[in-house]
Amino acid sequence: MLNLLRPALALLLLMTVLTGVVYPLAITGIAQIAMPAQANGSLVSKDGAVLGSSLIGQNFVTERYFWPRPSATGDAPYNAAGSSGSNLGPTSQRLKDRVAADVQRLRDSGIASAIPADAATASGSGLDPHISPEYAMLQIPRIAEARQVAAGDVARLVGEVTQTRLFGIVGEPRVNVLELNLALDALKS
C-alpha cells in the first residue's frame, strides 16, 4: 500500500510546487520584464501620485469633468472589489428607476438630444473606464461652460484620446474617461 501512496504523494507535492509556486513566479517575472506597466495594474500617475488605473472607471461627478457610464457595483461606485453586473433584468422596476434618474440627470445638465445607451446603462462588470465618443461629445458644452474654455478645444481633446478599433475591426471606438479628464486638467483654462 505504501508503495502506491508514496509516488502519488511525491507527484502531488511536485505538481503543487511547479504549478503553485514556480509557474506563477516565472509568469510574474516575465510580465514584470516584458510589460511592467500592465503587470502592475496599468496605473495612471501624475506628479508621483497614483490617480487610478486606466482599466477601472472612476466616479467623476462635478460639472468640470466628463462623466463615466453608470457603475453597477452598488453603494460604492467603481469599487473593484464589488465587480459585477446588477443582475437587474428589463422588467425590473429598480433598473427602470435608476435609468430614468440617470437620463434625468443628463437632461438637467443640458443634453436635449438622444442619449447613447452607455450614458444610462452600466457595463457587465460595473467598472468600465470607457464611454462612447458620442457620449463624450454630448458632454462638451457642459464642460466648456464650467471651465470657461472653447468647446472646440474640448472637442479636440476628445478626438485625441479616442481609441479606435483594434486592427480596424475589433471592438468599438471608445474614450477612456480618466485619460480624457487628465488631458482636460492639462488644458489651460
Is this structure's pTM higher than 0.85? no
* 150/176 same-domain check: yes
Whether 177 and 113 map to the same domain: the answer is yes
Angle, helices 133-147/151-161, rounded to nearest 10 degrees: 140
Question: In this structure, what is the dihedral angle of CA atoms 152, 156, 162, 168, given to the nearest 10 degrees?
Answer: 110
Q: Are residues 64 and 122 in the same domain?
A: yes
Distance of alpha carbon 44 from alpha carbon 85, whole angstroms: 25
Mark whether 33 and 120 lie in a shared domain. Answer: no
One digit per residue, the tens of pLDDT, for the chain of length 189 reads: 778 899 999 999 999 999 999 999 999 999 999 988 888 877 787 888 888 788 888 888 888 999 998 887 777 777 777 776 677 788 889 889 888 988 898 898 888 889 898 888 887 777 888 999 999 999 999 999 999 999 999 999 999 999 988 888 898 999 999 999 999 988 875
Residues 136 and 180 in one domain: yes
CB contact set of 187 (below 8 Å; sequence gap of 6+): 147, 149, 153, 154, 157
Would you give the distance in Å from CA 44 to the centre of its chain? 12
CA gap 95, 111 in Å, rounded = 21
Both 24 and 79 in one domain: the answer is no
Task: Please name the residue that has the C-alpha cell 500592465.
Answer: 38
Domain assignment of residue 17, given as a range: 2-37
The Cα–Cα gap between 178 and 184 comes to 10
